[in-house]
Amino acid sequence: MGIFRRVILPVAWLVVFAIIAVALVKIAFVDGLKPSDSGPAPLAQVDIPVVPATRATVTNTVDIKGTVQSDAAEAIRSTSAGKVIKVFVEQGATVARGDALFQVKAERVVTSSQPSKDGMSSAPKPVYDYFDILAPSSGTLQSLTTLIDQQVSVGENVGKIDPGTYTVAGSVTAAQQYRLLGKPGPAEIALVGGPAPFQCTEVTLKNNASDDGVGTSGGLSSTGGGAGMGVGGAVAIPGGGGGQSQDGGTPTGTLSCAIPAGHEVFAGLGATMTVSAGVAADVVTVPLTSVKGSVKDGIVWIAGAGGSGAAPEERTVQLGLNDGNVVEVTSGLTEGEQVLEFVPGAPAAPDPMMGPGQGTYIPAG
């Protein structure tokens, strides 16, 4: 029994520890240096979405949120100098363009002297002219400050006429202005809580950089026009929406339209202007998200011929009308060609079903 404890048991433990040590050395320095077999192939593969160029009819209509505003009163200016001798109308009266408002008496300058009966020359008698000051426009006489025996001068502001007319006006973004580069056609006005929508023909588009409605360098002003009139270009903005409101960008212009007579409105009433700026029938189109560019020229990416692994081909195209969802391609692309659905490297489009900080993945290409 003493030999087992002193000899056999210690030798057995040494053998066990030696086996363990050899096994660890083999795992660390022998099996670890062998090339490992390839891992399992991925179960899913992300494909770059592509869409075909298709034929469609593009109707370019833009929705503008606006407000009804009272037209500014027109100033009454005296067209003659002299003394007021008659006032024909009172404040609050309704007047028509050309109605006489008041009358002034002006002394005419006479230089020649008149001979008397005794042959002596006498001072010339004064000669007076009488002038009626007329209303410059029709409306309600808002104010008239002239008094009897008051002296007035040419061009002096003596009152105001309220035309009693209204205009609906709203701000437009740069994207909306580009879509309205041609002459906008008539607008359909829908008043909030008001009567049925009605047509408004006197549409004016004015750039914020210009104080008047006349087109200047860089301005996008135009008046009139009709439905079906072409627009000079299109905005190729990924993710652009049809008829988007002013929250889509900084206002760069103002669209306004004089409300026709016969419609009951009041200042401050909200309205939506739906403006038509052209129709292109049976044309080649692609989604706006597929195009990078602004006006007239754009860039699309043609899907590689070798499948999803082939690099896309960058191609310049010419653009026409767009409706906020698809854009007309006037040249550079034929029907059926496959293009990338999203511009490579474009930011992810926000998904309303996702929370903050989340978005839809768009491959960078």
pLDDT in tens, 104-149: 999 887 766 656 566 566 667 788 899 999 999 999 999 999 999 9
The DSSP call for residue 247 is G
pLDDT in tens, 55-110: 999 888 888 999 999 999 999 999 999 999 999 999 999 999 999 999 999 988 77
Spatial neighbors of 38 by CB under 8 A, at least 6 apart, are: none
pLDDT in tens, 320-336: 888 878 888 989 888 98
Spatial neighbors of 255 by CB under 8 A, at least 6 apart, are: 64, 66, 169, 170, 171, 172, 180, 184, 187, 203, 204, 205, 206, 273, 275
pLDDT at residue 168 greater than cutoff 70: yes
The pLDDT of residue 80 is 92
Mean pLDDT computed over 238-243: 38
Q: What's the whole-model pTM score? A: 0.60
The pLDDT of residue 226 is 35
pLDDT higher at 151 or 10? 151
The pLDDT of residue 121 is 62
pLDDT at residue 248 greater than cutoff 60: no
Q: Are 107 and 83 in contact (CB under 8 A)?
A: no
Read off the pLDDT band of 40 (50, 70, 90). low
Question: How far is it, in rounded angstroms, from Cα 204 to Cα 66?
Answer: 13
Ranges of beta strands (E only) in 135-197 are 139-144, 151-152, 157-162, 166-173, 187-191
The pLDDT of residue 257 is 92
- Give the percent of the chain with pLDDT over 90: 30
Token reading at 45 = 């593969």
pLDDT in tens, 187-233: 899 999 888 899 988 888 888 765 544 333 333 333 333 333 333 33
